[in-house]
Amino acid sequence: MRYFPDRNGIGFFLVSFCTRGNNPCVVSCSPVTGKARDMTQECRQCGKCCEKWGWDQKGIPDDLVPWVEGGRRDILMHVLVRFSDGRYCTAAGLVPDDLPRVDRIYYWVDPDGKKRYSCPFFERRQDRKVYCRIHDTKPAVCVGFAPWAAVWHDYGLNCPACRDTTP
């Protein structure tokens, strides 16, 4: 959960990120009134979010755990990590004992460590929808992104689902 300023800049609301089915869900709650508001929206898989926000993101150590334990080198080779000693490398060779020394995580890079300007797991199919090739294990920053949340209000205006209805 995180606190964000409200749209008027005079208060804060508490945001909790979760998922319902394949769609991210955001619940906001006023710490003053205690009123909660479900901010769910039906994603249309247009890809606008992933194209704009699906790269140059920072990760959290919890993202790496299932990838390292599951031997997901296909994902880890696109993750750059900085260790507490200042050394950088892709996460492809990480072992569980390395995780406490990871200081910073960057999404996404080429296998040689060069920054990418798109998500390597973004896939537009013949049905014109966008699919995430690592949907079942994608990072928290992707799971928690919901353009209809007040914190992303300006961007949400570009989301086709948000233009039709807002939660």
The pLDDT tens digits of the residues spanning 20-62 come to: 555 545 555 545 555 555 555 677 888 888 887 777 889 999 9
In the predicted model, is pLDDT for residue 158 greater than 80? no
Q: Is the pTM of this model over 0.85?
A: no
Of the two residues 59 and 19, the one the predictor is more confident about is: 59
Strands (E) in the chain, as ranges, are 2-5, 12-20, 23-29, 36-38, 57-58, 79-83, 88-90, 102-107, 122-124, 130-132
Compute the mean pLDDT over every residue in the chain, rounded to the nearest whole number. 77
Domains of the chain, by residue range, sit at 1-41+146-167, 45-145
- pLDDT at position 112 is 92
- pLDDT at position 69 is 95
pLDDT mean over 141-151: 71
| Percent of the chain scoring above 70 in pLDDT | 63
Contact call for residues 107 and 55 (beta carbons, < 8 A): yes
